[in-house]
C-alpha cells in the first residue's frame, strides 16, 4: 500500500556514483519505486554491477508485487539486462 521510494526530492535527478558496484540493488523485496536518478558506473570494463538490479531469490519463485522503475538514466556498467 505504501511503497518505499528511492529517488530525488525536489527538482532534478539525484546522482549516484556507483564505482565498480551496483547503483541500486533490491533483493527479495516488493513495494519499491526507483525514480528520478542518474546512476554512473566506472565503465563496462571495470564495473561488475548494474545501474539498477532487482533480484528475487525467494523459494518457489514467489512473485514480488509493485516494483516500478521510472525516469532513471544509467551508464558505465558491466552488466546488462540480457544477462
Pairing of strands 4-7, 67-75: unpaired
Give the pLDDT band (50/70/90) at residue 28: very high
* pLDDT given for residue 83 in this prediction: 46
Residue 72 predicted with pLDDT over 50? yes
The whole model's pTM is what?
Answer: 0.85
Q: Determine the Cα–Cα distance for residues 12 and 38; give it in Å rounded to an integer.
A: 10
DSSP structure string for 57-77: --GGGPPPP-EEEEEEEEES-
* pLDDT given for residue 63 in this prediction: 86
Rounded to 5°, angle at Cα 37 from 35 and 40: 140
Which residue is it, cell 514467489? 62
Amino acid at each position: 500500500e505504501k511503497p518505499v521510494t528511492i529517488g530525488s526530492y525536489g527538482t532534478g535527478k539525484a546522482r549516484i556514483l556507483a564505482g565498480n558496484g551496483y547503483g541500486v540493488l533490491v533483493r527479495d523485496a516488493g513495494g519499491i519505486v526507483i525514480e528520478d536518478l542518474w546512476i554512473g558506473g566506472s565503465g563496462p570494463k571495470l564495473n561488475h554491477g548494474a545501474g539498477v538490479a532487482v533480484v528475487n531469490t525467494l523459494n518457489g519463485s514467489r512473485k514480488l508485487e509493485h516494483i516500478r522503475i521510472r525516469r532513471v538514466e544509467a551508464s558505465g556498467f558491466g552488466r546488462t539486462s540480457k544477462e
